[in-house]
Copies of this chain bind each other. A is one copy, B any other.
């Protein structure tokens, strides 16, 4: 049709903007409106050129922009795929920067403290509001954790799964996403932590204490148990990245 739209967009953008901005906005809208459904291929770069009367440079930049925002998944030589963003995608967008932050002193501690703070509130919430089936799932996770004491790799997995229960309980999809983000960021440090069945047993006992406090509807006890558990874990791993 007419490319009046393009010209108008350029003018509408008062500040000296990039040409790609208009394309990004348009594609963004199409993704948001479902016109480009999740999983669909983004128009090929050469198609975008024709559609928007732009050079390939701009088309590529627009796609790169969208990829940076997580709206499309652009693997090196594959057709970019539309990814309707979820909470995980959002949090994972943080990944890069957080990893950079991790290089700075005190960052790991700050992030870990934040996690502890949130999780303390979560166990408290669990103690107050967990339903019977929630408790059953929690117990199940606890038992899986116990069964894995002898296998440090499996223990790590069940450990995370146990903690994950707390994030599931509020039934707010943001919470599990936050947990996945936390574990992802802290994983590199945690994996350097020496593990052993003895150590696993200690952690398991902590988990059990937390579970019992929750089952007894004792928020303070649960919070205390969790804080003790995570404080101990911190002491155990701090040496691995703070060469003080």
Q: Which residues of A approach B to under 8 Å, CB–CB?
A: 15-18, 28, 31-32, 57, 61, 64-65, 68-71, 76-77, 85-87, 89-91, 93-94, 96-98, 100-101, 103, 110-111, 113-114, 117-118, 120-121, 124-125, 170, 172-175, 178
Write the chain B residue with the least CB distance to A28: B100
Report yes or no: A114 in contact with B172, Cβ–Cβ below 8 A.
Answer: yes
The 8 Å CB contact of A90, one of B32, B101, B174, is B101
Closest Cβ–Cβ distance, residue A168 to chain B (whole Å): 14
Copies in the complex: 2
Across chains A and B, which 8 residue pairs bring their CB atoms closest together, nearest first?
Answer: A68-B68, A121-B121, A90-B97, A69-B96, A114-B174, A32-B103, A85-B97, A110-B174
Report yes or no: B121 in contact with A97, Cβ–Cβ below 8 A.
Answer: no
Report yes or no: A98 in contact with B103, Cβ–Cβ below 8 A.
Answer: no
* Cα of A93 to Cα of B114 in the assembled complex, Å: 19
* Cα of A173 to Cα of B106 in the assembled complex, Å: 10
* Cα of A85 to Cα of B100 in the assembled complex, Å: 7
Write the chain B residue with the least CB distance to A21: B76
* Cα of A90 to Cα of B100 in the assembled complex, Å: 10
Closest Cβ–Cβ distance, residue A104 to chain B (whole Å): 8
* Cα of A65 to Cα of B61 in the assembled complex, Å: 10
Instruction: Give 8 new A-B contacts, CB below 8 A, not counting A90-B101, A114-B174.
Output: A32-B100, A64-B64, A68-B69, A87-B101, A117-B125, A117-B170, A117-B172, A118-B121
Report yes or no: A85 in contact with B101, Cβ–Cβ below 8 A.
Answer: yes
A–B pairs, 12, beta carbons within 8 Å: A18-B76, A61-B64, A64-B68, A69-B97, A90-B98, A90-B101, A91-B94, A110-B172, A114-B175, A117-B170, A118-B121, A121-B124
Closest Cβ–Cβ distance, residue A34 to chain B (whole Å): 10
Residues of B with C-beta under 8 A to A76: 15-18
Closest Cβ–Cβ distance, residue A218 to chain B (whole Å): 14
Closest Cβ–Cβ distance, residue A85 to chain B (whole Å): 5
Report yes or no: A71 in contact with B100, Cβ–Cβ below 8 A.
Answer: yes
Residues of B with C-beta under 8 A to A175: 114
Which of A31, A76, A89 has the most B CB atoms < 10 Å from its CB?
Answer: A76
* Cα of A158 to Cα of B158 in the assembled complex, Å: 45
Residues of B with C-beta under 8 A to A97: 69-71, 85, 89-90, 93
Residues of B with C-beta under 8 A to A57: 57
